[in-house]
């Protein structure tokens, strides 16, 4: 029950922010909004605001939607004209399909970008009020016959960067190693305080457990790092630095996710790490037991993932609509009815295939 409640709270906030991004710019550009729903299926409860929007909570908490005035799937110009003729001049001003292309694009893109803004805000508040660990990554021990030992790493070497990503905390080492998509990971180390050395290391893949006890395959190079005084000390950051590190974290998670998915597209990498709602619920419940800061952190990561996935050029997702708008801009007209229907069928197939695959992965790991 703890897992379920934590998951519902997290997904409700993340979905609300996403849909509110759509809603905010729709209202800004005069588009009528008839429904703002958190969840799908039968309504549990709801209310109408002064503008006539129905705000509601539904039984299936796996998403949400904003429904625009007069909204329906309109593929052809003939259908659009038929829809337009059903409304008087005043109501036509509220129709989404009659808004300029740039306004429609902003309304659609606002949902995913709201998720990125939420993540930046969460990291910003954590950096500002809780702090960020900036312990130097100084090697305490290099295990014999390990990849690091064979490459020439030594005790007291300071790791400066991994795959050209600057290391600013000892806590980043494991993350940078395990998110690397390169067979040989490039380390830049500082030796004797003045000698910079570049080492390329192929990590060992070792079955293990993450900090929550979940089974994962870890990349290990055979080093031990210990923070000064054997404790991590978070340093509260100023406004500018807190914002800088927040944006940097969102950028790192986004680019790492894209590289990871890129490997999957070409058939490389570990597919077992892909998860869906069941895995998210499990991890959310595990993390929530450690307090509000870990819970907010996982919320930020889920928000980034939701924003990123929705920007993929797949019909049914926000990125699919943006793809259609791109073609409309290039061609000077919307794509034909048959072309759009063809893309929508592909989109539905891809989404259902992905849902089946990640659900199978979730159940298998459980």
> H or E stretch including 66?
strand 54-68
Judge residue 209's burial from the number of C-beta atoms within 10 Å of its C-beta, 0-12 exposed, 13-18 middle, 19 or more buried.
exposed
Residue 80: C-alpha distances to residues 86, 92, 103 (Å): 10, 12, 18
Cβ–Cβ < 8 Å for 179, 212: no
Q: How far apart are CA 33 and CA 171, in angstroms?
A: 45
The H helix count followed by the E strand count for the chain is 11, 12
Q: Is 183 a catalytic residue?
A: no
Q: How far apart are CA 115 and CA 250, in angstroms?
A: 10
In this structure, the dihedral spanned by the alpha carbons of residues 247, 254, 5 and 59, taken in order and rounded to 10 degrees, is 120
Give the DSSP per-residue string, 184-220. Answer: SEEEEEEETTTEEEEEEE-PEEEEEE-TTS-EEEEEE
| Cβ within 8 Å of residue 37, ≥6 positions away | 19, 43, 54, 56, 57, 58, 64, 65, 66, 67
| Dihedral class, residue 51 (left if φ above 0, else alpha if ψ from -120 to 50, else beta) | alpha
Nearest to 62 by CA among 280, 298, 257: 280
DSSP state, 97? G
Phi first, then psi: give them for residue 174, nearest 5 degrees. -60, -40
Active site residues: 19
């Amino acid at each position: 029950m703890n897992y379920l409640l934590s998951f519902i709270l997290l997904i409700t906030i993340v979905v609300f922010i996403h849909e509110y991004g759509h809603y905010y710019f729709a209202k800004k550009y005069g588009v009528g909004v008839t429904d703002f729903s958190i969840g799908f299926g039968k309504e549990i409860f709801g209310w109408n605001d002064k503008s006539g929007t129905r705000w509601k909570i539904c039984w299936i908490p796996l998403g949400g939607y904003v429904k625009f005035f007069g909204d329906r799937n309109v593929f052809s110009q003939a259908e659009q004209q038929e829809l337009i003729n059903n409304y008087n001049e005043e109501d036509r001003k509220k129709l989404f399909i009659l808004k300029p292309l740039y306004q429609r694009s902003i309304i659609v893109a606002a949902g995913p970008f709201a998720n990125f803004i939420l993540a930046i805000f969460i990291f910003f508040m954590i950096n500002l009020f809780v702090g960020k660990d900036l312990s130097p990554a100084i090697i305490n021990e290099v295990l014999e016959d390990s990849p690091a030992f064979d490459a020439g790493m030594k005790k007291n070497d300071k790791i400066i960067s991994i795959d050209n990503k600057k290391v600013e905390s000892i806590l980043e080492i494991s993350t940078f190693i395990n998110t690397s998509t390169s067979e040989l990971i490039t380390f830049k180390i500082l030796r004797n305080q003045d000698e910079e050395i570049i080492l390329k290391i192929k990590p060992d893949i070792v079955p293990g457990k993450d900090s929550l006890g979940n089974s994962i395959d870890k990349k290990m190079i055979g080093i031990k790092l210990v923070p000064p005084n054997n404790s991590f000390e978070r340093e509260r950051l100023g406004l500018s630095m807190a914002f800088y590190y927040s944006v940097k974290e969102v950028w790192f998670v986004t680019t790492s996710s894209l590289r990871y998915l890129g490997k999957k597209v070409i058939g490389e990498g570990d597919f077992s790490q892909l998860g869906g709602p069941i895995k998210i619920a499990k991890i959310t419940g595990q993390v929530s037991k450690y307090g509000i800061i870990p819970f907010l952190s996982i919320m930020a990561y889920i928000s980034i993932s939701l924003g990123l996935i929705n920007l993929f050029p797949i019909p049914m997702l926000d990125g699919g609509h943006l793809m259609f708008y791109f073609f409309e801009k290039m061609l000077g007209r919307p794509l034909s009815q048959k072309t759009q229907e063809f893309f929508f069928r592909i989109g539905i197939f891809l989404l259902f295939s992905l849902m089946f695959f990640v659900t199978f992965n979730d159940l298998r790991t459980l």
